[in-house]
Amino acid sequence: MLEGRRIVLVEDDEIMGASLLQRLTIEGAEVQWHRQVARALPAIRTPRKPLDAVICDIRLPDGTGEELYDTLTRTGHPPPFLFITGQGGIDQAVRLIRSGAADYIAKPFEIAAFLERLVLVMRPSVDRDLPAKTGVSDAARAVDRRIRAAASHDWPLLIRGATGLGKLRLAQQVHEHSDRRAAPVVVVNAMRAAVDVDTLRRSIADVGEGSLIVVGVGRLSLAAQADLVERQTDPRFRLISTAGLHIEEKVAAGMFRADLLPILQSHEVVVPSLVDRPEDAVWLASQLFPGLNARRDSPLAGIAASAEEAIRAHDWPGNGRELRARLIRAVEAAEGEHVLASDLFPERARNDGLRSLAEVRDAAERAQIMAALERTGGQIGEAARLLRVSRTTLWEKMQKLGV
């Protein structure tokens, strides 16, 4: 029933946890069992492999399942959550369902009913096994699912995100997997040059019944925007647009038509930045490395673990574009057998080993938080008391620092 499925179990009751672990394993699942929120959080947020589901008790020794779920949803899209609750926690479970959790089951329950409920909340295994295009995190997998879904219909599509996230590549994927793939795809890049009405109309004539991709739709002239609005009443082509995260500000400033934005946003895919999914930054580096390494006369053995940690810790303001540029330079400059952190971030080495005050502060806070959690056995409330901060503050710092 659960062959090959990957599940995180968050349950502090030894009898209940052991029983569920045994049965899930018998059914073929790979299970990680955590008894505390502090241990479960990093396992769910940055899993080594994509997760199919989280089974979570609502009441835990160092917090609640609700706090765990809320923390995860602030920075990404967690796997489906099946909450376990006593009769007294049903109201809380219902509130979680309204917040996006998959389902809950009240104690006591029959194991057959539990397994049936679990199978229903899990994503289809074929979805999990499809090759990653955007990344391996849950947020990236969600983007890939939405792109595949968008290819199955003809409505206008808006792909939004910061610079360097491959939005044009995603737009092209939509066309390549759609029923229009035999027809032309024409890219109009408003980020590189001004696009007036005549330019837009020539592109529409060239695209026929194919897909028109407008890169940086927010930079189209108002006249070109008006032409797009008129054509959407009876379009022959499929409109796919890309934009940044603040196009609403252009509407408020009178630079973008208020009647075009709802047409574009009726079907929208938002691509999260790499700072919110560090595991995808490491994955992307691993995807780019072989091709770059093949250009060397003497190929490298790989990317050092310390360099991967530096990739994971960097905030990547330029996203994938910056990562690729740094990796090209690092592969060319590497003198040993591996790409090192100093190859990726030579500006840090030039500072004679000095780190910014922000980096030093974050490292010190992370060390203190880890020490407090270790001393208290992962008890968030007790750790907050030792650190003399509120529980909420500690949660926020743990989220920021990836503890």
If you average pLDDT over residues 260-268, what whole number do you get? 90
CATH architecture assignment, domain 138-272: 3-Layer(aba) Sandwich (3.40)
Residue type, 56: C
- Over residues 231-262, the pLDDT tens digits come to 988 889 999 999 998 888 899 999 999 999 99
Residue 323 has pLDDT above 70, yes or no: yes
What does the block give as tokens for 363?
């490292």
More confident residue, 138 or 189: 189
Burial class (CB in 10 A: 0-12, 13-18, 19+), 298: exposed
Structure tokens at 342: 């100093």
What band does 353 get if pLDDT is binned at 50, 70 and 90?
low
pLDDT of residue 2: 87
Provide the percentage of residues in the chain whose pLDDT is more than 70: 93
Taking residues 82-107, what's their average pLDDT? 81
Phi, psi of 395 (to 5 degrees): -60, -45
Domain 357-401 has CATH 2.60.40: no
User: What average pLDDT score do residues 312-325 get?
Assistant: 93
Q: Dihedrals φ, ψ of 188, to 5°?
A: -110, 110
The region of weakest confidence among 126-135, 204-213, 250-259, 318-327 is 126-135
Domain 6-129: give its CATH superfamily. Answer: Response regulator (3.40.50.2300)
Domain ranges of the chain: 6-129, 138-272, 275-349, 357-401
Poorest-pLDDT segment among 60-64, 167-171, 357-361: 357-361
Dmax of the chain from CA atoms? Answer: 72
pLDDT at 126: 47
pLDDT at 154 over 70: yes
CATH level 3 topology of 275-349: Helicase, Ruva Protein; domain 3 (1.10.8)
Residues ≥6 apart with Cβ < 8 Å to 131: none
Closest CA to 220 of 203, 197, 204, 252: 197
Give the mean pLDDT of 123-143. 73
pLDDT per position as a tens digit, 26-56 = 999 999 999 999 999 988 987 877 889 999 9
Domains 138-272 and 275-349 share a fold: no
Q: Is residue 350 pLDDT above 70, yes or no?
A: no
pTM of the model: 0.61
Q: Is 165 exposed, middle or buried (0-12, 13-18, 19+ CB in 10 A)?
A: buried
Give the pLDDT of residue 386.
84
Mean pLDDT (whole number) for 174-197 = 94
For helices 357-375 and 380-387, give the axis angle rounded to 10 degrees: 130
CA gyration radius for the chain?
24
